[in-house]
Amino acid sequence: MDVKKAKELHCHQFSCRFGKEDPYDVVCNKAGTMYELLQTCDRFKEKASKNQGKDLVILTSHKRAISMHFPCHKMTEIGTETLVIRYISAGRNQTTSTSSKDKKEYRIEMVIFEVKTTGETNILTKVMNNLGLRKLADEVTVYGYKGQTVREVLEQDGRFSDEVLQSNYSLQDTKNGIRTEMSTYADYLDGRCFKITRGHRLKTQ
């Protein structure tokens, strides 16, 4: 496939706005991350220079946040509505990664799922590195590759606290309550929504 044809197949468009400003069109014709794509926008670069040392938050509809290294070509699968760009004070372990840690998006099947930014009652503030993210987003959109464990996917994401990556934590499906351990492969998590839980509880009769 020649370069021109590859660009035609990849090309997509969406809009983004910074805070309460009017939205801007963003057109992508090259595979990369959301951060790399936003870097093509002069307004974004201007905002970024004024907010150095803060955490970037990219919000979709329904108060969901995607990562800076989210593959841009997957945006068409989670919606092309206007994205909202915000900056918040840096978290406990500031996430600075702006590039995908695996460039095999087109060769390995991906999984995309949602995780609540707050866990169950006793771990409300232990899920995310940045507590401020809970005020902006109810869920974070997470991506990974088939063959990776849940722990590997969440570590790759970079927004989760080290504590919840331990073996005594798990993902619990918000619809059916079924748990998925951190050591389990993430192959069948696509399209689902989870909250992070700790330990095991006996089901009451």
Look at 60 and 148; give whichever has higher pLDDT: 148
Region 40-47: mean pLDDT is 91
Task: Measure the CA–CA gap between 26 and 178, rounded to whole angstroms.
Answer: 39
Q: Is the pLDDT of residue 67 over 80?
A: yes
Q: Is the pLDDT of residue 103 over 70?
A: no
| pLDDT confidence band for 203 (50 / 70 / 90) | low
Name every residue whose Cβ is closer than 8 Å to that of residue 18 and which is 6 or more positions away in sequence. 43, 44, 47, 84, 85
Tell me the DSSP string of 134-170.
HHH-SEEEEEEETT-BHHHHHHHH--B-SGGGSTTEE
For 7-30, write each residue's pLDDT tens digit. 445 677 888 898 888 998 888 888
Cβ–Cβ < 8 Å for 145, 109: yes
Q: What is the reported pLDDT for 120?
A: 77
| pLDDT confidence band for 71 (50 / 70 / 90) | very high
Q: What is the reported pLDDT for 99?
A: 54
Q: Is the pLDDT of residue 6 over 70?
A: no
Task: Measure the CA–CA gap between 115 and 134, rounded to whole angstroms.
Answer: 12
| pLDDT confidence band for 93 (50 / 70 / 90) | low
Q: Could you tell me the pTM of the whole model?
A: 0.85
Name every residue whose Cβ is closer than 8 Å to that of residue 201 and which is 6 or more positions away in sequence. none
Report the DSSP pairing between strands 139-145 and 64-66: parallel
User: For tokens 């699968």, what's the residue?
Assistant: 77
Residues of the chain with pLDDT > 70, as a percent, come to 83
Q: What is the DSSP letter of 24?
A: E
Q: Is the pLDDT of residue 81 over 50?
A: yes
